[in-house]
Structure 1
Amino acid sequence: MPPQPNSAMTWVQVNRYMQTHRHPPRQRSRWSRRRYVATFAPSRALGQQAAQAVHELGLQQHPQVVVADGAHWIKKEASTHFPHAECILDWPHLWRTVRKAANAVGALTKHPQEEQARLVSQLSTWLWKGEVEKAQAQLKQRRRELADQPSQRLAALRQAIIYLDKQRDWIGSYEHWKQKGYPVGSGIIERAVSLVINRRMKRRGMRWLRAHATAVVALRVDMLNHDWQLPVPARGFP
């Protein structure tokens, strides 16, 4: 127990005691080598920049992994510039969609809490192991059982079934990918967006044009990649 504050110990001292005696923070993995790319130009420009970044890091012959939320334009750029990459659908996006469907099923069937928890656990386990067909079969069975319900109440269930079918080629064994050390979530990407774009472009009251925003993020990427230290011809951006 920390000592109780008294006339000789201020709240600041107690707070400092708690900070030094708490459990050490969990260490996050960090990329030893990284390059940022960003643009407000059309998606093909971003694909070209990503491919150039891989070239500058000398990673063309190394295993490549693309993690995304399943957007069509990302799939197109990935197939164009990284045709042999391991493509992974972002786990939080996947599970958020399916969990919403499971919650809708629970609300409509009014099953006991234990049965609802079993359904959620089943779906999570199957998808984590890449057993998409089992998850789809379970969701389709639930949809048949609830066929008499108003269509708007089944929207989340239908959306999840369509989503799994549409994203099937990017869903695999997340358990296997994690064992291989691959990222399975887009947290790293979202952090990069926050660092490169949001801190500069999303301040209160800001207004900008696309061309000007593209120029600003190009300069910011130059700064974060330390390209200012390189001669002009060697920079990723002019």
Structure 2
Amino acid sequence: MSGKKRGYQGASCVCTGCQGDARFVSRRSRSVVCLFGGIRVTRPYYHCALCHAGESPWDQELGLTNRLLTPAVAELATLAGTMESFARAADVNLRKMTGLRLSESTVERTTEDAGRRLGELLGQRIKFGEDRVWDWQRDAQGRTCAYASLDATGVRRQGENGARMEGRMAYVASIYNPQSKHDERPRDAHQVRYLAGFYDLDELGVQFRRQAGQVGWDEAEQQIALSDGGSGMEQFLRRNFPLAEIIIDFWHAKEYLVELAQATFNHEEQRQQWIDKMCHELKHEGGSAVHSQLEAMEREVIPSAKELHRQTVGYFANHKHKMNYPKYVANGWQIGSGPIESACRTIVGDRLKGSGMRWGDDGADAVCHIRALSRSEPDQWDEFWRRHRN
């Protein structure tokens, strides 16, 4: 590489900090960890008399500013730290698969720095890649359908001096394009975008809508949002996706019936018959029919199950308008929130809920961000590292 291409810009260059005149001082060496291991490089060094900052244009050109790792190694370290515990990422994944010898703390800092940078960019409304309308799946009526879902899962936290703290809920949001038995057209099987972290719901809504818009949410003829009915979920989905059909996860509703049956019936056969009957009615007649059945059985409920019965009746009363499963099934729509529940496990649970793991807020939030990106469409990860790594 020629001297000029290696960062030499003549006797002076423009200071990136204050736009003043930075003068060439000398060629200085520094240590760098690249894919081949540790090396030393010599490059031009400039100093600004106005703001007293020093810089090397070559470092900036290659993304080495304030970094020991080259961008390629930083990406590998982040990917490893995103997939496994920082210790295993350093001692097993990187060492065995690449030969790189990085410390656990280096992998931790690199991964969390990338996650924080990603969080900042998302907050600045930066998008990764060009807008691209997905080839949305079609339902039984031939309409294109777009799906959104939201859930939350707890993360254990650690306080000062290793003290335990109350856990905190991390939100996981997803825009996705599932396979449909009513649509046999070949298409990309991994069309999904995730967001995850300790979000304020208003900020999450802004970023969620932006992700949806980037893949053509508004182009779909039918918009569908799935939820388990948790506190505030419906209001969030209606506020951010006002045209979407809100559907309560069928299996979550079923859990209420199973729990009530276990508290009400002593005999397994009788219990299972009741569950089968009520779930069949829920799927083929809807939430309103089940709500009526639950109200009608009030006098038959044993005293120990009355409070649970009251709660179950209240749940169906509050959500029956989102339990029109006969309509949903006839249209060929998804009625289960399995994809978002799976995302809670794979994005948050598998990485942040390992044995003995406890997190600070900043570290957990950063890892949630970067892990969500790693599980989204591959072009999202690639674009982040190609254009926004510094």
Q: TM-score range by the shorter chain?
A: 0.7 to 0.9
Question: What TM-score do the two structures reach when normalised by structure 1?
Answer: 0.72
The verdict on how the C-alpha distance between 1:68 and 1:222 changes in structure 2, with shifts beyond 3 A counting, is same
Mapping 1:175-214, distance limit 5 Å? 175-214=326-365
Match of 1:105 in 2: 264
Contact 2:195 2:373 in 1 (8 A): no
Q: Does 1:38 align with 2:190?
A: no
Q: Does 1:131 align with 2:283?
A: no
Q: Does 1:162 align with 2:332?
A: no
Contact 1:43 1:73 in 2 (8 A): no
Match of 2:166 in 1: none
Contact 1:197 1:217 in 2 (8 A): yes
Aligned-residue offset at 1:100: 2.2
Aligned-residue offset at 1:91: 0.8
Aligned-residue offset at 1:231: 6.1
In structure 2, C-alpha distance between the alignment counterparts of 1:113 and 1:198, rounded to whole Å: 35
Match of 1:4 in 2: none
Equivalent position amino acid for 1:89 in 2: I
Q: Work out which of the residue numbers 61, 75, 88 in structure 1 matches 2:234.
A: 75
In structure 1, C-alpha distance between the alignment counterparts of 2:295 and 2:230, rounded to whole Å: 24
In structure 2, C-alpha distance between the alignment counterparts of 1:182 and 1:234, rounded to whole Å: 38
Q: Does 1:221 align with 2:379?
A: no
Match of 1:55 in 2: 213
Question: What TM-score do the two structures reach when normalised by structure 2?
Answer: 0.46
Contact 1:104 1:154 in 2 (8 A): no
Deviations 1:10-55 (A, max 9, x none): xxxxxxxxxxxxxxxxxx9485421111111223333333212211
Contact 1:102 1:157 in 2 (8 A): no
Aligned-residue offset at 1:196: 1.5
Match of 1:95 in 2: 254
The alignment yields a C-alpha RMSD, in angstroms, of: 2.9
The verdict on how the C-alpha distance between 1:231 and 1:129 changes in structure 2, with shifts beyond 3 A counting, is same
Equivalent position amino acid for 1:46 in 2: L
* Greater Cα offset, 226-235 or 71-80: 226-235
The verdict on how the C-alpha distance between 1:193 and 1:113 changes in structure 2, with shifts beyond 3 A counting, is closer
Higher helix proportion: 1
Contact 2:249 2:337 in 1 (8 A): yes
> Paired residues, what number?
202
Q: Identical aligned pairs, as a percentage?
A: 23
Equivalent position amino acid for 2:324 in 1: G
Contact 1:39 1:46 in 2 (8 A): no
Equivalent position amino acid for 1:164 in 2: F
Match of 1:6 in 2: none
In structure 2, C-alpha distance between the alignment counterparts of 1:61 and 1:129, rounded to whole Å: 30
In structure 1, C-alpha distance between the alignment counterparts of 2:345 and 2:384, rounded to whole Å: 28
Structure (1 or 2) with the larger CA radius of gyration: 2
In structure 1, C-alpha distance between the alignment counterparts of 2:350 and 2:299, rounded to whole Å: 47
* Greater Cα offset, 47-56 or 82-91: 47-56
> Larger relative contact order (C-alpha < 8 A, sep ≥ 6)?
1
In structure 2, C-alpha distance between the alignment counterparts of 1:183 and 1:45, rounded to whole Å: 27
* Greater Cα offset, 83-92 or 49-58: 49-58
Contact 1:98 1:160 in 2 (8 A): yes
The verdict on how the C-alpha distance between 1:64 and 1:200 changes in structure 2, with shifts beyond 3 A counting, is same
Equivalent position amino acid for 1:160 in 2: T
In structure 2, C-alpha distance between the alignment counterparts of 1:234 and 1:54, rounded to whole Å: 21
Contact 1:65 1:85 in 2 (8 A): yes
Deviations 1:150-206 (A, max 9, x none): 3x3322222211110011222112x43234332211211111122221222112222
Equivalent position amino acid for 2:382 in 1: Q
The verdict on how the C-alpha distance between 1:177 and 1:103 changes in structure 2, with shifts beyond 3 A counting, is same
In structure 2, C-alpha distance between the alignment counterparts of 1:153 and 1:96, rounded to whole Å: 15
Structure 1 unaligned segments of length 5 or more: list them. Answer: 1-27
Equivalent position amino acid for 1:102 in 2: A
Contact 2:291 2:320 in 1 (8 A): no
Deviations 1:90-110 (A, max 9, x none): 111101102322343323xx7
Classify the secondary structure of the residue corresponding to 2:247. Answer: strand
In structure 1, C-alpha distance between the alignment counterparts of 2:373 and 2:291, rounded to whole Å: 45
Deviations 1:207-234 (A, max 9, x none): 2122221122212223333323226798
* Greater Cα offset, 196-205 or 29-38: 29-38
Contact 2:228 2:252 in 1 (8 A): yes
Structure 2 unaligned segments of length 5 or more: list them. Answer: 1-177, 181-188
Classify the secondary structure of the residue corresponding to 1:51. Answer: helix
